[in-house]
Amino acid sequence: MLKRALFFSTPFCLSLRNNQMVINTKEAPDMQKTVPIEDIGFLILEHQQTSITLPLLNALSDNNAAVIFCGDNRMPNAMLMNLDSNKTQGESYRDQIEASEPLKKGLWKQIVEAKIRNQAALLRKTGKDGDRLKPYYMNVKSGDTDNREGIAAKIYWSELFGREFVRSREGSEPNSLLNYGYTILRAAVARSLMGSGLLPAFGIFHRNRYNAFPLADDIMEPYRPYVDEIVYGLYTSGKTQLTKETKSELLRILFADTNFGKVIRPLDVGLTFTSASLAKCFGGTAKKLSYPLLE
């Protein structure tokens, strides 16, 4: 079932009643709107005067909804995640933690290949020279020991946004759009991993001690071009700043079509295919990660 993503950029009072999220304002408490908890996949709270009750937070957590809290700068700052979202997660945790280095290097190889393939596909889709990346996604070594991902990234960004563009969290536009989109994507990936009984804190390649979700950063890599496609469309139409409109457009990433060969699913659903395949790889019942090809 495709879950709803709700975004609150103005002050609202959010509470729980009869397993429904109740939405109203202090100025008009009798004017209420309700949304079934089971329909909610993402809740983004941007305005600093928004209030939300503890019973509602627990109900959202019980239903594996990702609740994202924004800071004073209106950028995502924290996330509420369920600690008990999968009945077999104890077993899955053990498989994940005990995964061998050769297995993790093999998984990272697959991730890098899928990422560069999707980058090349996006370049072709936007009329750029995607074939320049073909040598980099062909024959990636285990663990990507020769850093084809990094080399391909330099070519990719230069082709997509021009030679002067430098991808950086603090860089010039459209970096802020990319940052926002990736944060939404990261939350969606973390949610899907938890739903598959995996712990986002234990990564395959990313291992920064200050990073709470390194596995999400690993698994999201081949999905980044889906964000890039939306940002490219905004950027080329002159929309380079983070506004309510552009944030709404970036939130659409959760509903982007993802092609898994025989089936096409919204990205939020596609992520469950990928995370489930990862759990099977850790458990020894599969060898290949399931990733979509951008079209």
At residue 294, the pLDDT reads 96
For residues 289 and 278, the answer to whether their CB atoms sit within 8 Å is yes
List pLDDT tens digits, range 129-165.
999 999 999 989 999 999 999 999 999 999 999 999 9
The domains found in the chain, sorted by start residue, are 4-80 (3.100.10.20), 89-283 (1.20.120.920)
At residue 85, the pLDDT reads 59
Give me the percent of the chain exceeding a pLDDT of 90. 73
* 3-state SS assignment for residue 248: helix
Cis peptide, bond prior to residue 225, ω within 30 of zero: no
> Does residue 81 surpass a pLDDT of 60?
yes
At residue 188, the pLDDT reads 92
Confidence of residue 1 (pLDDT cuts 50, 70, 90): low
- Report the DSSP pairing between strands 33-36 and 40-45: unpaired
- Whole-model pTM: value is 0.88
Give me the percent of the chain exceeding a pLDDT of 70. 96
| DSSP 8-state assignment for residue 204 | S
At residue 206, the pLDDT reads 78
| Beta-bridge partners for 68 | 44, 79
Among 165, 149, 293, smallest CA distance to 232 is for 165
Q: Mean pLDDT in the chain?
A: 91
> Does residue 110 surpass a pLDDT of 70?
yes
For residues 225 and 160, the answer to whether their CB atoms sit within 8 Å is no
List pLDDT tens digits, range 245-278.
999 999 999 999 999 998 999 999 999 999 999 9
Confidence of residue 180 (pLDDT cuts 50, 70, 90): very high
List pLDDT tens digits, range 193-251.
988 888 888 899 977 665 778 999 999 999 999 999 999 999 999 999 999 999 999 99
For residues 59 and 37, the answer to whether their CB atoms sit within 8 Å is yes
> Does residue 86 surpass a pLDDT of 60?
no
> Does residue 87 surpass a pLDDT of 60?
no
Q: What is the mean pLDDT of residues 54-68?
A: 92
Q: What is the mean pLDDT of residues 272-294?
A: 96
